[in-house]
Amino acid sequence: MKTAPQLLESFRERFGTPSNIYRAPGRVNLIGEHTDYNDGFVLPAAIGFCCWVAGARRSDRKLAIHSENFSETVEAGLDLLAPLRKRHWANYPLGVAWALEESGRRLSGTNLFIAGEVPLGAGLSSSAAIEVAVGMALLNQGGHEVNRSELAKLCQRAENEFVGARVGIMDQFVSCHGRAGHALLLDCRSLEFELVKLPAEVQLVICNTMVKHEIGSGEYNTRRAECEEGVRKLQIVLPGIRALRDVTLAQLEEHRGVLEPKVFSRCCHVITENERVMKAVEAFRSENLEALGPLMQDSHRSLRDDYEVSCKELDLMTEIAVAQRGVIGARMTGGGFGGCTINLVADVAVEEFKRQVSAQYFEKTGQRPEIYVSAASEGAQQVDTGTVRPAI
């Protein structure tokens, strides 16, 4: 990965001017999966991998966006922003520019050089990282204040309406608000959040199954639609509810008959997962780490059986992990259908954990997993390179 001075240099080589640097992290979710778009609770942490963006204002209303990862430059006029072909990387930065303009913020033309280090397709929110880093760059270069919660919502809007993935708010929010050494308990309805201190002697170990997680595959949007169907049907018997967040497990059981069995299972996952988030927060706060293992295992089981977003590689990776010494808890993380598991591992056991998991996963699948150890990290920031304006 490039350092900030190298990024300044790459920008100068391409665009011929100095620039400012911004970065935004990917995330790992400790617990609370597929609850965000049900107005529920999540407990993610920002990770050490970031998307880096060098940006400088231009005198016209054009964007020139270069991606180092894709070795490609895209140009667009701010007055005529439209998505490129499906799955094009530039739809994320263009979508953010579109959402910012739609919110009434007039942007200035900007040259952007993007270098991402969040593994792509691993379910660690490389897309939220690019959105937030670009959003911060465009706001700053356009002379606008950065309100982090507002920025997160606009990045989500970009992904929902411009890119076409109906994601919730979790990834963008933690990329904006993450804090070193902490997870973030977010109420996805009110957007109120609390930082939850993570124990110093525990590491976040992320195991990549190397199966590409494909959020665009349509399954994610289908799950959302199933949850919405659940709410619509339950509203007939529970008129006061707005989202699955408002339904208790007892109410769900009582009104099981109004739901298709599949929709019942989806609702069951969401409702029990919200409960697990609150219990996990309590476990962190009371330093009762033993309580986390069963909660994470139940979360994985519920995602596998009720929500059906796991895959055999994620199940295997989790199974191998929980059998290792020093493991506090393990589960799939993120949208699912591939990607990574999150493992809470005592720091003295991390090296052996990595060796064992890697060897056993390879033996069973023929694939070498990538394993990342990350501290919970800071959210998005302008990087003070010493030669530029002070950090936001």
> For residue 2, which of 23, 33, 17 has the smallest C-alpha distance?
23
Query: How far is 37 from 202, CA to CA, in rounded Å?
Result: 29
Residue from 25, 93, 95, 168 in contact with ligand GAF (CB under 6 A): 168
Count other Cβ atoms within 10 Å, centred on residue 164. 14
Min CB(166)–ligand GAF separation in Å: 9
3-state secondary structure 320-346: HHHCCCCEEEEEECCCCCCCEEEEEEE
How many helices (H) and strands (E) the chain has is answered by 11, 13
Q: Which of residues 317-336 bind ligand GAF (CB under 6 A)?
A: 334-335
* Residue 273 found at the interface with ligand GAF (CB under 6 A): no
258 neighbors 236 (Cβ within 8 angstroms)? yes
Q: Which of residues 21-60 bind ligand GAF (CB under 6 A)?
A: 29, 33-34, 36-37
Q: Which of residues 207-266 bind ligand GAF (CB under 6 A)?
A: none
Per-residue binding letters, 121-160, with ligand GAF (x by CB under 6 A): ----x-----------------------------------
Count other Cβ atoms within 10 Å, centred on residue 91. 23
Options 36, 39, 79, 171, the catalytic residue: 171
Point out which span in 65-73, 81-89, 168-176, 375-383 binds ligand GAF (CB under 6 A).
Answer: 168-176
Query: How far is 2 from 281, CA to CA, in rounded Å?
Result: 36
* Residue 171 found at the interface with ligand GAF (CB under 6 A): yes
Min CB(282)–ligand GAF separation in Å: 20
Q: Which C-beta is closer to ligand GAF: that of 223 or that of 354?
A: 223
Count other Cβ atoms within 10 Å, centred on residue 220. 22
Residue 112 pairs with which residues in a beta bridge? 55, 65
| Tokens, residue 162 | 């411009």
* 171 given a catalytic annotation: yes
Point out which span in 13-21, 78-86, 142-150, 164-172 binds ligand GAF (CB under 6 A).
Answer: 164-172
* Residue 167 found at the interface with ligand GAF (CB under 6 A): yes
Residues annotated catalytic, as ranges: 171
Q: Which residues bind ligand GAF (CB under 6 A)?
A: 29, 33-34, 36-37, 125, 167-168, 170-171, 334-335
